[in-house]
Amino acid sequence: MTKGKKTIAFLGRKRHKSDVGYGLPLILAVTLHALVVGLSVISLPSQDDTPESSSIVQATLVSTETFTDQAQQPFEQPTADVPEESQKTTLPDPGPTAQDIATEQAEAQRQREAEAEAQRQREAEAQRQREAEAEAQRQREAEAEAQRQREAEAEAQRQREAEAQRQREAEAQRQREAEAEAQRQREAEAEAQRQREAEAEAQRQREAEAEAQRQREAEAEAQRQREAEAEAQRQRESEAQRQRQREAEAEAQRQREAEAQRQREAEAEAQRQREAEAQRLREAEEARRAAELAERARQAEQAQNSFTNIVKNLVEQAWIIPPGASNNAAVTLNIRLGPSGEVLATSVVSSSGDGSFDRSAQQAVEQAAPFSELRDVPAEFQRNLRQFNLRFTPGMFADVNVKTNRDVAGFVSVEQHSVC
């Protein structure tokens, strides 16, 4: 129980003494917000330019729509002109809208009412006019009287004023003259003062000039001396320089000559070497060419031999020797071939005296034709083989050629025939 009471007491104390109260923070927060709001209210009216500029911005936007063609040509046109023009253009725009029509109707209505009113007023006016005229007559007379009096007074007033004016002018005139006099005196004094100062100034300047002159002369003298010394120094140096140069040139000359000598020797040596090299090359070339020639000749020989052997074998196989032919008979045929090996012509060069034997030889050649192996021969040797002689001699090597059903084999020898 006591404990419970104590805690209750603690709680009460706690609430009483616990933390910082909320009063001061609340006041601080409210003042802070009030400050912020006040700042926003105070600062914004000073920025009056922004709303105006925003309206100007709007005007320029419209103007860019209407003036796009013109605005693109004069780029340098100052922007200040644009809003004015746009104002001009935009102002007529809202004129012919619905509002205008409404205003016109209202205007007409008002006009009609005004006319009726005016009619009534004119009648009343005429009545009043007549009454007023009599009154006005009386008033006019009184006014004319008063007018005359006022004029007389005004005349007197003007005279007095003119008098006063003249007096003031004379006074002013005198003052101006006195002032001008004083002004002249002051100017004269100032002039004299300036002259004196100018003289003193001139005196100082002359002295300074003389001093400067003397200094310049002394300096010029010193300068001249220094220059003369420098000149002498330069001359000595240039003399020594020239001497050194001459020596160096002589040395260089000697060196150049030695160099040229060496070069000439080296060139001669190189020349000799080149000649020897060329000689060697020529020899090697000749040897190579000779070997090549020999090779080609050998190849040609080989090709010719192989071709003639083929031709010989073919003709021998196709040759049917007539039965009555003697072993000593021999016929030589000249044969010309086409490019692909076909026989163009056969002609008897030396006859055997036996016609049938000659014919059999010719038939053998025709039978064996075409000699298509000619195409296998290299082209450069083909021309040599296009024309050749064949010599037919039966019975000499019968044992070699008796292979097939032929009874008697003949021997065909080919004679190379160079074509012109």
Partner 1 sequence: MNENSMSIPHLVMSASTVVQLVMVLLVIGSLLSWVVIFQRSFALSRAKSAYQKFEETFWSGVDLNDLYREIPADDQRQGAEHLFQAGFREFHRLMPRNSQPDQVLEGVQRSMRVAWSREEERLTKHLVFLATVASASPYIGLFGTVWGIMGSFQSLSMTQQATLATVAPWIAEALIATAMGLFAAIPAVIFYNRLSNSSARLLGKYEDFAEEFYAILHRNLQGREPNTQ
Chain residues binding partner 1 by CB under 8 A are 6, 9-11, 13-14, 18-20, 22, 24-26, 28-30, 32-33, 36, 40-41, 44-45, 48, 50-52, 54-55, 57-58, 61-62
> Closest separation between CB of residue 182 and partner 1, Å?
58
> Closest separation between CB of residue 9 and partner 1, Å?
5
Minimum CB distance to partner 1 smaller for 2 or for 137: 2
Burial of 393 per CB tally in 10 Å (0-12, 13-18, 19+): middle
Backbone angles phi, psi at 394, to 5 degrees: -75, 155
Integer Cα distance of 360 and 408 in angstroms: 13
The residues that bridge with 335 in the sheet, in sequence order, are 346, 388
Cβ density class 145-162: b for 16+ within 10 Å, e for less: eeeeeeeeeeeeeeeeee
Minimum CB distance to partner 1 smaller for 90 or for 346: 90
Residue type, 147: Q
> Closest separation between CB of residue 50 and partner 1, Å?
7
> Closest separation between CB of residue 7 and partner 1, Å?
9
- The Cα angle at residue 229 between residues 228 and 230, in degrees rounded to 5: 90
Minimum CB distance to partner 1 smaller for 14 or for 383: 14
| Element housing 9 (H / E) | helix 2-17
Backbone angles phi, psi at 198, to 5 degrees: -65, -40
> Closest separation between CB of residue 151 and partner 1, Å?
55
Q: Which sign does the torsion angle of CA 29, 30, 35, 37 carry?
A: positive
Minimum CB distance to partner 1 smaller for 13 or for 375: 13
Minimum CB distance to partner 1 smaller for 25 or for 339: 25
> Closest separation between CB of residue 51 and partner 1, Å?
4
The residues that bridge with 345 in the sheet, in sequence order, are 336
Which residue shows structure tokens 């059903």? 405
- CA contacts within 13 A on the Cβ side of 202: 6
> Closest separation between CB of residue 53 and partner 1, Å?
10
Minimum CB distance to partner 1 smaller for 32 or for 284: 32
Minimum CB distance to partner 1 smaller for 102 or for 278: 102
